[in-house]
Structure 1
Amino acid sequence: MTDWAAFAGFTGLVLAVLLSLAHFSRGVPHAEGTGSDAPAAPHDSESGPAQNARVGSPDDPVSTPAEPDETHEPADPDTVSLASFSVDSTDASPRPEPPTLAGGDGAADAESDVTAGSEPDSDREPPGVTAAPVSAVSERSASAADLPPHLLLANVALSQAFLGGFLGLGAWYAGVPAAALGFSVTDLPAKLALGVGLGIALYGANRVGSTVSERFGIAPDEAVRESLTPRTAAGWVFLFAVALPLIAGFEELLFRGALVGAVAAGFDVSPWLMAAVSSAAFGAGHGAQGRLGIVVTGLLGFVLAAAFVLTGSLLVVVVAHYLVNALEFAGHELFGW
């Protein structure tokens, strides 16, 4: 006999761990409506000298900030802890900035920063100018020595595999039928084709939505994707062949198979009600992507949940989920879409 209550306990524990990790991974709060590609915004004049300095030119005089305290040691470039995948460029404590270029010394200091190998703060850029791509790690991730992408990918893959294995162990212990979780070996080619079509359609809708939102000045936060982007050919192979399949498989097993399929079957609850609940949890589980990311992933999760309810197949939603993630990496990083 199936012990639905025991499996619900396993599911709740896994969900609690995942949401806790998502909460802690947010690190420093995100700036609303900003992403890694968004232009640097001017700051309020009361926020300190680090936010007052801007680049000037001989033909464009600007106000010169107050002379910084010479005894104050400049802080190191912003980094984040290992628990954080994405951060805002706002620093907790302001650090002194050199005078503007119009003052004469700012250019020399800026040149010394470049020769020292440090990346200039985004606050030093004039409004409307984005940071040019460089080989150094951006402020949205830790330094290359502390947080390289391949270690991030390995950490994500291992954590997802561990949680997925624990959930699978709970399903075996509770005697949950495979059909309740969406496992079936019938009509595999048709389900695979349906998953491919759904994944491509969702990716296309996501790109259109991102383009429209950027037109209104709402740029998605892409810090998580940037921090996970491989830098080597082996890293790309690991991403597409190991990390993304594990992520798609585990998340669909939890949010669609367990929260929708098993709960609806075991407790006589409407699967559409559970689709809404699981989609809200799915969005909250992507809190590292900021509030806009939570909303977008929540909507995506509901479409996947609806596909699961209509088809009863976990394979369809796993393939679709994988393609959305894979096309996002490939499209943006390889083809500049």
Structure 2
Amino acid sequence: MPRWVAFSALTLVVLALVLFSARASERVVSELAEPTPRPASLSDGADHLDATDRAGVWRAQSSRPGPMAMLANVGASHALLAAVLAVGVWLAEIPLSSLGVGTATAADAIVAGTGLGLAVAAANTLLGGLIDADPSAALRDLLGPESAPGWALLLLVALPVIAGFEELLFRAILIGAFSSGFGISPWLLAVGSSVAFAAGHGAQGRLGIAVTGALGLVLAVVFVMTESLAVVVVAHYVVNAVEFVLAEGIGYEPFGST
């Protein structure tokens, strides 16, 4: 018999960790996004820097982690939390069907998820151009790959792990499992999970929180209607991948100039 109370307690602990981490990431992204301090004498050429100035510039540049390191860190942390939830599902004997697992074939999930992801990405691109803003620019700049191995790490490891963990937590568990275990309306849970999903992306600023909340609500609605975790995972991945490829890969700026 499923141990719903124990599993919900574990889920809320993981959610609290995600929100706390998001708050910390907001400060880190804000600090790393600031231009590297440059001494006034730098404008006269590197030869005119004294030893103290050179050391200061070197420390400021070397203290900023590279994209590969940041991608590895993000991927590892999300994978760890996903593993904790997966173990919790197993120990609490949560029915996989309540999580939307195995409710759609791989082919159907890929087709439906890709179509949804491309539609959302197109809408996001259009909206970004209309309002002349890109709330994800600072975070994307820090994670944007600078080499082929970096792109492989991003597209084949980091983004799939991120999409898988976030959909498992915010859609499969907070909507599917909680609805099955406690008899709460999935539509009510969809709203609550979308608010939590938005709060977990505080590093993107207020506009980014609003946009992420809207994306979360779309994914929540799709999850409730399809009852498929795979569909929303694929869609989530496609949205993130398209944004990175457009902005960081080919240098296209559909989100405005800010």
Instruction: Say whether the fold is shared (TM-score over 0.5).
Output: yes
Q: Tell me how far apart the structure 2 counterparts of residues 26 and 113 of structure 1 sit (CA, whole Å).
A: 34
Give 1:334 shift.
1.7
Number of matched residues? 241
Given candidates 127, 130, 134, the residue that maps to 1:212 is 130
Q: Tell me how far apart the structure 2 counterparts of residues 316 and 245 of structure 1 sit (CA, whole Å).
A: 13
Q: 1:221 to 1:235 in 2, by over 3 A?
A: closer
Match of residue 2 from structure 2: 2
Q: 1:90 to 1:241 in 2, by over 3 A?
A: closer
Give 1:220 shift.
2.3
Match of residue 55 from structure 2: none
Match of residue 240 from structure 1: 155
Match of residue 11 from structure 1: 11
Match of residue 86 from structure 1: 30
Confirm or deny: 8 A CA contact 1:154 1:243 kept in the other structure.
Answer: yes
SS of the equivalent of 1:85 reads helix
Letter in 2 for 1:192: I
SS of the equivalent of 1:26 reads helix
Match of residue 266 from structure 1: 181
SS of the equivalent of 1:190 reads helix
Q: Tell me how far apart the structure 1 counterparts of residues 204 and 122 of structure 2 sit (CA, whole Å).
A: 19
Q: Tell me how far apart the structure 2 counterparts of residues 19 and 222 of structure 1 sit (CA, whole Å).
A: 21
* Percentage of identical aligned residues: 46
Q: 1:325 to 1:186 in 2, by over 3 A?
A: closer
Q: 1:231 to 1:270 in 2, by over 3 A?
A: same
Match of residue 202 from structure 1: 120
Match of residue 286 from structure 1: 201
Q: Tell me how far apart the structure 2 counterparts of residues 143 and 18 of structure 1 sit (CA, whole Å).
A: 29
Confirm or deny: 8 A CA contact 1:25 1:288 kept in the other structure.
Answer: yes
Confirm or deny: 8 A CA contact 1:180 1:261 kept in the other structure.
Answer: yes
Match of residue 314 from structure 1: 229
Given candidates 123, 142, 146, the residue that maps to 1:227 is 142
Moved more, 310-319 or 186-195: 186-195
Q: Tell me how far apart the structure 2 counterparts of residues 219 and 178 of structure 1 sit (CA, whole Å).
A: 37
Confirm or deny: 8 A CA contact 1:86 1:289 kept in the other structure.
Answer: no
Give 1:280 shift.
0.4
Confirm or deny: 8 A CA contact 2:75 2:162 kept in the other structure.
Answer: yes
Given candidates 65, 78, 87, the residue that maps to 1:147 is 65
Rg (Cα) greater in structure: 1
Deviations 1:226-267 (A, max 9, x none): 100111111110111111100000000000000000001100
Letter in 2 for 1:279: S
Match of residue 216 from structure 2: 301
Match of residue 69 from structure 1: none
Alignment of 1:113-132 (within 5 A): none
Give 1:86 shift.
3.2
Task: Between the two structures, name the one with larger relative contact order (CA 8 Å, sep ≥ 6).
Answer: 2
Confirm or deny: 8 A CA contact 2:103 2:227 kept in the other structure.
Answer: no
SS of the equivalent of 1:184 reads coil
Q: Which one has the bigger helix percentage?
A: 2
SS of the equivalent of 1:262 reads helix
Give 1:187 shift.
3.0
Letter in 1 for 2:7: F
The unaligned stretches of length 5 or more in structure 2 are 50-59, 253-258
Give 1:144 shift.
4.5
SS of the equivalent of 2:26 reads coil
Q: 1:158 to 1:90 in 2, by over 3 A?
A: closer
RMSD: 2.3
Alignment of 1:143-182 (within 5 A): 143-182=61-100
Q: 1:156 to 1:194 in 2, by over 3 A?
A: same
Match of residue 110 from structure 2: 192
Q: Tell me how far apart the structure 2 counterparts of residues 331 and 116 of structure 1 sit (CA, whole Å).
A: 40
Confirm or deny: 8 A CA contact 2:104 2:230 kept in the other structure.
Answer: no
SS of the equivalent of 1:294 reads helix
Match of residue 238 from structure 2: 323
Provide the TM-score with structure 1 as the length reference.
0.67
Q: 1:208 to 1:154 in 2, by over 3 A?
A: same
Letter in 2 for 1:314: L
Match of residue 112 from structure 1: 44
The unaligned stretches of length 5 or more in structure 1 are 28-83, 99-108, 118-141
Q: 1:201 to 1:149 in 2, by over 3 A?
A: same
Match of residue 60 from structure 1: none
Give 1:148 shift.
0.9
